[in-house]
Amino acid sequence: KNEVEQSPQNLTAQEGEFITINCSYSVGISALHWLQQHPGGGIVSLFMLSSGKKKHGRLIATINIQEKHSSLHITASHPRDSAVYICAVRTGTASKLTFGTGTRLQVTL
Amino acid sequence: DSGVTQTPKHLITATGQRVTLRCSPRSGDLSVYWYQQSLDQGLQFLIQYYNGEERAKGNILERFSAQQFPDLHSELNLSSLELGDSALYFCASSVLTGPGELFFGEGSRLTVL
């Protein structure tokens, strides 16, 4: 079993829909990152969380430390949100990130 | 634009060869991280340097090595290349050595034929 599990693996949505991507992890963590990877390959860091909730534009990330679970929400989805979303966790003061396998999102018109 | 620069963007080479990938971190960032993304293994942490010193090691093969120079740019050297080394190699930087926001480069796509 992977230390970081994401669901769903693939997601297709229509423009305007509310989207949720889930991440569960099995180890104690000091931080959780949500990353976005566009078809061209580049990676953008969306959020770094250690507790609670963060919001940036139409993106919201939440984390529940007790349940070892995080969610990434996209409100009013748009085709430009089409990308792979990757959850990654960091344990303690370690530098190593352990990555989930990613959720491939396609938003259609 | 993350401020992290990686070169080259694309590289095609043959088995047995050696290549060097270069990363310039964001201005002021002391930590540089290298990651490998392959189709079968996903993203994996390779190695981290902080202010010129190796700070953490992940799943880095012995055929691979890295260093960080006094101007804080870093190089990842891959030698005796095999077909399975074909992957995207990402560099990321951060201000500190511990948990903190990461800024990723665009990646270097290596194809080994």
Parallel, antiparallel, or unpaired for β A52-56 and A43-49?
unpaired
Res A15 pLDDT > 80: yes
- Which of A35, A95, A96, A99 has the most B C-beta neighbours within 10 Å, making it the best mutation to test the interface with B? A95
pLDDT number for residue A27: 84
| Per-residue model confidence (pLDDT) at position B98 | 65
- Res. A88: pLDDT tops 80: yes
In this prediction, residues A46-70 reach a mean pLDDT of: 95
Q: Would an 8 Å CB–CB cutoff place A94 in contact with chain B?
A: yes
pLDDT tens-digit profile, chain B (113 residues): 889 999 999 999 999 999 999 999 999 999 999 999 998 888 999 999 999 999 989 989 999 999 999 999 999 999 999 999 999 999 999 987 666 788 999 999 999 99
Q: Closest Cα of chain B to A43: distance in Å?
A: 6
- Within 8 A by CB and 6+ apart from A99, the residues are A4, A86, A87, A88, B42, B43, B44
- A105 with A85: CB under 8 angstroms? yes
Rounded-to-integer distance, Cα A90 and Cα B66, Å: 22
Quote the tokens at residue B104.
């990723």
Q: What is the pLDDT of residue B42?
A: 87
